[in-house]
Chain A
Amino acid sequence: MLNVAVVGIGKMGLLHAGIMNALQGVRLCAIVDTSKFLLGFAQSLKQEVEIYEDFQKMLDQSKPDAAVLATPVFLHVPMANACLQRGIPFFLEKPLSLTSREAEALVAGVEKRGLTTMVGYMMRYVETFAKAKQLLQSGALGELITFQATIYVSQLFKTGKGWRYNKQESGGGVVIGQATHLIDLLRWYFGPVSRVSAHTRNWYSREVEDFAHAHFEFASGLTGWFDSSWSVRHHRLLEVSLTVHAANGNLIVCDDYVKLYLDKAAAGFPAGWTNFMKPDLFEGVEIDLGGPQYTRQDSAFVAAVKNGTRLESDVRNAYEVQRIVDAIYASAAGHGAPVSL
């Protein structure tokens, strides 16, 4: 039985706690929050779980086998370090840190100790985006030339409250808070980024950006751009869309489908369109709580902790995503001047 503690029981913490509690071979042993209200509520629902206001005290007294850290970004690195010092594997809600520099020592420490970690870039576990990875890897498209990508949601149309809109606590706005999902996918698909140039715009928020547009050059030679915002209309849910143009065709992927078009048959795919709709790709999960991707992700983390293995979506990966975020902010501050990584 794997004893898991959940730290921070806001929206994501509630969700991970529910999934962890439901997974076979896992026990939700402790929860931590500074809000007496949330803690009291959680305790009243689940009397056998230990509750703590103090994170360090929980680690020392409850001694969990793994921790889920779902706290505001400024707490991520200090909390992850506390887990590292005690050799406790951790799952960290994305993003990794306020800046990449802040996380350097943590990443080095995790790698030195060989600790299992995961950062919550869950798009990899959405059926369509996972399928797109396979199609890109198949080589059917030939050399990749350029891409365009968007990540939008209708979320914020007035000044927001809370830590996400406070740069000290969040590290930034829509880029770090949301577009990092897309940046992670782009890195996963296309490899290391060598250079970015970017523009951002604050409109509803005072301290952080609500709109961002960035151009990327990858080490492979591929170039392309993304556009992101949490303040665009007509996007009820967070929607990611990516089109890749290549020598032998193109690929379109979004939350709902993957469409591959090939000039000539290749890698077992015929010429013309090959479409995969989400229902084609769906596979059930042990428990679906807010979307099967979260369960697949938490299951992968649990399995890696039990086996003591590394995950692709670990703190090193998240650190590389964070370096791109830093470059986007640096470039935007210089009115789009290119920044090399």
Chain B
Amino acid sequence: MIDKIILGHNQFFGVNHLEAQAGNEREAYFSEAARIMEIVNFSFDQGVRGMMMSTHERAFVVAGEIQKDARLQRELGIYLLVPYVAKYIKQANEKGLVNIVKDALSGTSLQDKLGMFWRGGMGLLTRDFKKILTAMIDFEVAPFASLNLRAIFLHDVMTDLALGWEVPEVFQLYAEHVQGKYGAIPAFCTKNLGRLMRLLGRAGIDNPLIMASINKLGYQVNPSRAAFEQTLREHRLQLLAMSTLAAGYLKPGEAYEYLFSLPNIAAVVVGVSKKTHARETFSIIRHYQSAGKPREPLPAATHEMLA
């Protein structure tokens, strides 16, 4: 069972899908870890027990802060997103893919074995690509391994690359490794839900945990909102919904009313950067999440926000 509300992390690291400029400003504000921890602690006190984290450099600092706090380390479930793709894209521009792998693995026990790949032929490599993939996962997860890792998500760029190349073996390998080594739920982030569900079916992965964008506007929903909704109806999965406000474009009321009218919505990830905003957002989500059951009345401030 995963947490129903998961605190997002993009706002802390300058990701803003509506306005890059605003994201850049927020990134400067959250360059102090204390400001991030203030929101984390506040959300925790509001009953939010899950937090998304990418393996961004700043997240290492946040991970350190969480470790210092026994309560957070024990009770805050971490939903880790690997790898931090933006970093690798920059590195790929700078030094090429081969050097990325070489550098990432330098100092690991795998390095000596890998030396053979660069010297030797492809036969060796072909047999051992699994070792490279799992070593890369371990490299990414290492700074967070002592946290309460509830799920480890494969970043959508990686998931969708394996999807485009059509290699279900990557998903099998990933799932086995994450479950076996970390005891965490192997999960996938994607921009192509329908296609992913078909391939995961081929990989023998049942009832997967998947993070994908879904909102009433159909923003970042591929190939269309209608097709996405059909996948939700026809497949067994647990969806962690992201971009539910279409990058801040939708009002929370209409956004969550739509979201929780859909089947298989297990949880929602939400980015908040202010306490008042956090309190109101959590309360609106809980209001619509409990659809079907008697709903608690919304606080006055929330009504104002929905208006």
Contacts and interface: CB of A to CB of B under 8 A. Distances in A.
B132 interface: yes
Quick one: which of A19, A37, A156, A255 has the most chain B CB within 10 A?
A: A37
Contacts of A36: 117-118, 121-122, 125
A156 B90 CA distance: 8
A40 B122 contact: yes
Interface stretch (A101-109, A113-121, A185-193, A232-240): A232-240
Contacts of A268: none
Interface string A208-241: 0000000000000000000000000011110100
A156 B94 contact: yes
B73 interface: no
A256 interface: yes
A289 B164 contact: yes
Given A287-B164, A289-B164, A254 B18 contact: no
B6 interface: no
Interface residues of A, number: 48
Interface stretch (B20-28, B34-42, B64-72, B275-283): B20-28
B97 interface: yes
B93 A21 contact: no
Bin chain B's interface residue count.
35 or more
A156 B19 CA distance: 23
B166 interface: yes
A30 to B, nearest CB: 14
B24 A161 contact: no
A234 B28 contact: yes
Contacts of A287: 160, 163-164, 192, 195, 222-223
B264 interface: no
A292 B219 CA distance: 11
B93 A11 contact: yes
A290 B159 CA distance: 11
A155 B94 contact: yes
A255 B15 CA distance: 13
B15 A236 contact: yes
Contacts of A278: 17-18, 219, 247
Contacts of B89: 11
Interface in A130-160: 155-156, 160
A256 B18 contact: yes
A10 B93 CA distance: 9
A322 to B, nearest CB: 20
A178 B221 CA distance: 28
A123 interface: no
Interface string A270-297: 0000000111001011111110100000
Interface in B108-140: 117-118, 121-122, 125-127, 129, 132
Contact of A44 (B118, B126, B222, B247): B126
B97 A235 contact: no
A44 B130 CA distance: 9
B271 interface: no
Given A236-B20, A292-B222, A22 B27 contact: no
A195 B206 CA distance: 61
Given A37-B125, A39-B122, A279-B246, A10 B222 contact: no
A17 interface: yes
A21 B94 CA distance: 27
Nearest to A163: B96
Contacts of A235: 20, 24
Nearest to A159: B94
Contact of A255 (B20, B157, B169, B247): B20
A1 interface: no
A164 B93 contact: yes
A282 B218 CA distance: 8
A10 B247 contact: no
11 contacts: A15-B164, A19-B164, A40-B122, A41-B125, A43-B122, A46-B165, A255-B20, A278-B17, A279-B249, A288-B220, A290-B157
- Top 5 nearest A-B pairs (CB, nearest first) are A18-B164, A40-B125, A40-B122, A288-B191, A279-B219
Interface of A: 10-11, 14-15, 17-19, 21-22, 35-41, 43-46, 155-156, 160-164, 234-237, 239, 254-257, 277-279, 282, 284-290, 292
